[in-house]
């Protein structure tokens, strides 16, 4: 029987940043009698372990399966104040940030991708740490971190939204290497999907990149 586990005794908030990336991306939390906490991708340990909770969803893609516009809007409502707040703080259009979250996680605050990206704006553990996000499943922290990172990418690529979005998805190094959107099918589709949603939210926008 295969197990990907880590046993720890540190505080819970700190543990979340140290979770291993496991292949199923759904993390089960158990605790031994001595207080040692175990994070594993296996659904059941022995009777000596007390089940605490599941942390994360199978994948961000699955977070969108069967999600209607009504469900999406209901998911978004509790988070829109923070979306608007941090979009204003980092001088971004809140409709762009909303579009990024829709494509990244369909507003599932506990989404986990197949490569370990977490939360609403799908922050990788190293990126989250760099941005000061200690709890990636905390919606406010995640939105702040993701929005600030998108602003960094906007600055790095001179306000070019397409390149900033490509960098958000594939990393700024890949964008610089290819001097444009990398020739990755996933990244090219990612940029198009976000801009399509943004156009739908901004039909009267005069911003030049929306016309391409």
Q: Which residues are known catalytic residues?
A: 104
Question: End-to-end alpha-carbon separation of the chain, Å?
Answer: 52
Token code pair at residue 53: 């909770």
Question: What does the alpha-carbon distance between residue 87 and residue 161 come to, in Å, rounded to a whole number?
Answer: 14
Distance from CA of residue 34 to its chain's centroid? 34
Tokens of 85: 């707040």
Q: Which residues pair with 7 in a beta bridge?
A: 38
CA proximity to 29, closest of 133, 110, 140, 85: 110
Strand, helix or coil for residue 157:
coil
């Amino acid at each position: 029987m295969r197990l990907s586990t880590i046993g720890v005794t540190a505080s819970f908030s700190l543990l979340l940043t140290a979770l291993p990336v496991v292949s199923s991306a759904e993390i089960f939390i158990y605790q031994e009698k001595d207080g040692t906490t175990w994070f594993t991708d296996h659904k059941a340990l022995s009777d000596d372990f007390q089940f605490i909770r599941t942390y994360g969803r199978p994948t961000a893609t699955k977070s969108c399966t069967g999600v209607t516009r009504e469900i999406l809007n209901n998911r978004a409502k509790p988070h829109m104040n923070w979306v608007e707040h941090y979009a204003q703080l980092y001088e971004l259009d809140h409709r762009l940030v909303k579009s990024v979250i829709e494509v990244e996680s369909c507003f599932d605050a506990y989404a986990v991708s197949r490569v370990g990206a977490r939360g609403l704006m799908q922050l990788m553990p190293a990126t989250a740490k760099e941005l000061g996000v200690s709890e990636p499943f905390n919606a406010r922290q995640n939105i702040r971190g993701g929005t600030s990172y998108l602003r960094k990418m906007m600055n790095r690529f001179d306000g070019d939204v397409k390149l900033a979005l490509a960098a958000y998805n594939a990393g700024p190094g890949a964008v610089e290497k290819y001097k444009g959107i990398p020739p990755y099918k996933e990244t090219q589709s990612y940029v198009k999907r976000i801009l399509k949603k943004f156009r739908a939210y901004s039909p009267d926008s005069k911003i030049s990149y929306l016309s391409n």
